[in-house]
Amino acid sequence: MGISAYSRDARTAVSEGSFERPAVAADQMTRVYLGHRVLGMAAAGFGVISLVWHDFGAPWQQIQALGNVPYREVFVYLAAAVELFGGIAIQWPRMARAGALALGATYLIFALLWVPHIAAEPLVYGGWGNFFEQFSLVSGALIVYAAAGRTGQRTARLARIGYVFFSICVVSFTLEQLFYLSGTAEFVPKWIPPGQMFWAITTTIAFALAATALLSGWLALLASRLTTAMIIGFGLLVWLPRLFTDPHKLINWAGNAQNLAIAGAAWIVADFLDRVRSAAKT
């Protein structure tokens, strides 16, 4: 089933409204969708990290493109406040749309602030990779915003756009790992057999397969679920241990929040596709 087929059913799926609203189908009543909650937890985590460290969640969240900004901490606290608000608001049905809008706008700003870096060094993929990592969060927030809205073609279209955007971001995840394969391997814990490079290559192939599935629509739901599980695995095996080995580095805390946020966005996509599949059965 291709993307166009998903889009035909998207209107029905999005028409379920808020995340807590009971669905019409009996099997839907027992389903629990957690993607937006994970994204919200990560956003709130970013907010707390910024307040504690008096800085953005570097290196992913940064305003270096603006140069030497006066009263920089004011912007740090403003971003922290928005992320805390959005992260909490997105947990509640009546506030989910406002929370998603706040988070989507914030992450879009952080994504666009990578554009000057891309323009300055277009052949260095680091800037592109950071842009798409932030944009994946925008994609997840867009799907939440659409799903929490009223029934209609516009909300269905927004959800589908968010889905396609995230699929493109997964292509970037693949390229980022491919171009920095040695660096990716260094992140893999040495104690995991059969070796660091094996898992760097394996996860890169997994991202490539997931991107293909999401863009084609073939086994997209399975691909989104496996991608979510893989990213969560990154957090548990790579980022979480760093909090215990070196809790005094901002990047270790920000890395955990960033990884959790991307996992939340992937989970949102899986939730969206599950809604589409369930709606198609009714």
Q: What is the pLDDT of residues 116-170, one digit of tens each?
A: 999 999 999 999 999 999 999 999 999 999 999 776 788 889 999 999 999 999 9
- Secondary structure of 71-131 as H, E, C letters: CHHHHHHHHHHHHHHHHHHCCCHHHHHHHHHHHHHHHHHHHHCCHHHHHHCCCCHHHHHHH
Q: Tell which residue, 143, 179, 158, 141, has the closest CA to residue 42.
A: 141
Mean pLDDT for the stretch of residues 200-214: 98
- CA distance linking residue 100 with residue 21, whole number of Å: 17
46 pLDDT more than 90: yes
- CA distance linking residue 53 with residue 250, whole number of Å: 7
What pLDDT, on the 0 to 100 scale, is given for residue 150? 74
Tokens of 20: 């807590």
Mean pLDDT for the stretch of residues 170-187: 97
Which residues, in sequence order, are CB contacts of 30 under 8 Å at separation 6+? Answer: none
- Provide the angle, in degrees to the nearest 10, between the axes of the packed helices 153-179 and 3-14: 130
What pLDDT, on the 0 to 100 scale, is given for residue 5? 34
13 pLDDT more than 50: no
Mean pLDDT for the stretch of residues 157-184: 97
1 pLDDT more than 90: no
pTM above 0.85, yes or no: yes
Dihedral, CA of residue 173, residue 177, residue 178 and residue 182, to nearest 10: 180
Percent of the chain with pLDDT over 70: 88
Task: For residue 93, say if its preceding peptide bond is cis, omega within 30 degrees of 0.
Answer: no
Which residues, in sequence order, are CB contacts of 148 under 8 Å at separation 6+? Answer: 17, 18, 19, 93, 96, 97, 100
* DSSP structure class, residue 69: -
- CA distance linking residue 30 with residue 20, whole number of Å: 11
99 pLDDT more than 60: yes
70 pLDDT more than 60: yes
Mean pLDDT of the chain: 89
264 pLDDT more than 80: yes
What pLDDT, on the 0 to 100 scale, is given for residue 57? 85
